Amino acid sequence: MKAIVVEDSRLAREGLIKMLQAHPELQVVAAADHSVNALALIQEHQPDVVFLDIHLPGESGFDLLEKLDCTPQIIFTTAYSEYAIRSFDYNTIDYLLKPISDERLKIAIDKLSINSKEPEAAPKPPLDINSRMFVKDGDKCHLVHLESIRYFESCKNHVRIFFGNDNAFVKKSLNSIEERLPVKHFFRVNRQYVVNLHAIVSIEEAINDGYEITMNDGKTLEVSRRNAVELKDILSF
């Protein structure tokens, strides 16, 4: 399993990496001392697990996780016990308090190994615009026509689906949902949103060389510069 260590203290970072060498099932592919480096490394390496400190320069480990479309398994490593409850809003395997003992680290890695042995579900077939999605949000269940969905919004480890006069949360990544959507009807405008092209009512040039689109519910979304050219081609005659 590929692992990344995110820890701002050099001594703590190097110490944890040394401790992980006793676990050959883990390969530490990268290490970072702040969230900017960590974000780039996670996106590059797509690790199975991240050993993550919470207090980082500039922003917290939680802030880092909210920038990810798909969160890897997380083992928090911190000196602060008060964040334990919040940590399990994410894909958290364990919460380790510093100083970390070899025994406690082994327990966390054993949990990780058990979790990784769970069989993966078979890939689901792609949807077409006439498909319906079963969405369970808490105690509420929805059978949603795909064509009625205006957009999908990434929120931590969930995706919020906007349809009709309602919305619902599903515990999936935006990437996994996007993979099943018909490309002729849905488009990824930025890291956080996938939109129904037929729900766009206007598009305007933005200051940063991208575009701003307005959806049929009045929501305004920024199109990333990278995706602006492709969107322009799709919407052009």
Domain regions of the chain by residue span: 2-116, 132-235
- How is the beta sheet containing 2-6 ordered, strand by strand? 27-32, 2-6, 49-52, 73-78, 92-97
Per-residue pLDDT of the chain (237 residues; tens, 9 = 90+): 999 999 999 999 999 999 999 999 999 999 999 999 999 999 899 999 999 999 999 889 999 988 887 789 999 999 999 999 888 888 899 999 999 999 999 999 998 866 665 555 556 778 899 998 888 887 788 899 999 999 999 987 789 999 999 999 988 888 889 989 999 999 999 989 999 999 999 988 877 667 899 999 999 999 987 788 888 888 876
Pick among 1.10.3210.10, 2.40.400.10, 3.40.1710.10, 2.40.50.1020: CATH of 132-235 = 2.40.50.1020
User: CATH classification of 2-116 is 3.40.50.2300, yes or no?
Assistant: yes
Helices 102-116 and 10-20 meet at what angle, rounded to 10? 60
Residue type, 97: L
The predicted structure's pLDDT at residue 237? 66
The predicted structure's pLDDT at residue 121? 53
Whole-model pTM above 0.85? no
Question: Residue 79 and residue 66: Cα distance in Å, rounded?
Answer: 21
Beta strands in the chain (DSSP E): 2-6, 27-32, 49-52, 73-78, 92-97, 132-137, 140-145, 149-155, 158-163, 166-170, 186-188, 193-196, 200-205, 211-215, 220-223
Question: Residue 36 and residue 86: Cα distance in Å, rounded?
Answer: 22
Please name the residues in contact with 53: beta carbons below 8 A apart, sequence gap of 6 or more: 6, 7, 8, 9, 12, 61, 76, 77, 78
Give yes or no on whether 2-116 and 132-235 have one common fold.
no
How many Cα atoms are found within 13 Å in the side-chain-facing hemisphere of 115? Answer: 17
Radius of gyration, alpha carbons of the chain: 20
